[in-house]
Each structure stands twice: as structure tokens, then as C-alpha cells.
Amino acid sequence: MTLPDDLFADVSPHLVYAYRQRAAAEPPSELRGHADPVRATLLGALCLLRSREITDGLVDLLIGTIHKFAPEPTSG
């Protein structure tokens, strides 16, 4: 799924996070019961923020791996 980076550009980050939390907490059957615009908003926030969390985690893992195998600097 591809979501534009500016999907929630005009929305407060606090509100986007609240949408994400609401979508994560609701069972799928409740999400399906929402009107299409509400469901799309909740799932869009969930997917966008979750993809950012996954990317951040992968970057942290890559940096940790690089530091693990990087040679120690020599003084001198």
C-alpha cells in the first residue's frame, strides 16, 4: 500500500496519533462498521504511522549492525 507522505499534512500530529490509537484498539468488526470516510481516515493514520515506526526500527537496526562491525578508531 502506498500512502502519500503529506496525507495528514494539514492535521495535528496529536490528532493523527489519536486516529492511529483508535484504529489499533478497535477490533476489525468495529472498523468495518464505520462509514467509509471514517474507516479510511483511521486506517490511513494507522498504516502511515506504523510504516514510519517500522522504517525507524529498521534504520536503528542497520545503524546498530554497522557499529557492531565497524573497526575501532585508532589513536595516534
Residue 29 has pLDDT above 80, yes or no: yes
Neighbours of 20 (CB within 10 A): 20
Q: What pLDDT, on the 0 to 100 scale, is given for residue 3?
A: 85
32/1: higher pLDDT: 32
Q: What is the mean pLDDT of residues 26-32?
A: 95
Residue 7 has pLDDT above 80, yes or no: yes
pTM metric for this prediction = 0.79
Q: What is the mean pLDDT of the chain?
A: 93
Residue 76 has pLDDT above 90, yes or no: no
Domain ranges of the chain: 13-69
- Alpha carbon separation from 76 to 31, 60, 69, 71 (Å, rounded): 62, 31, 21, 15
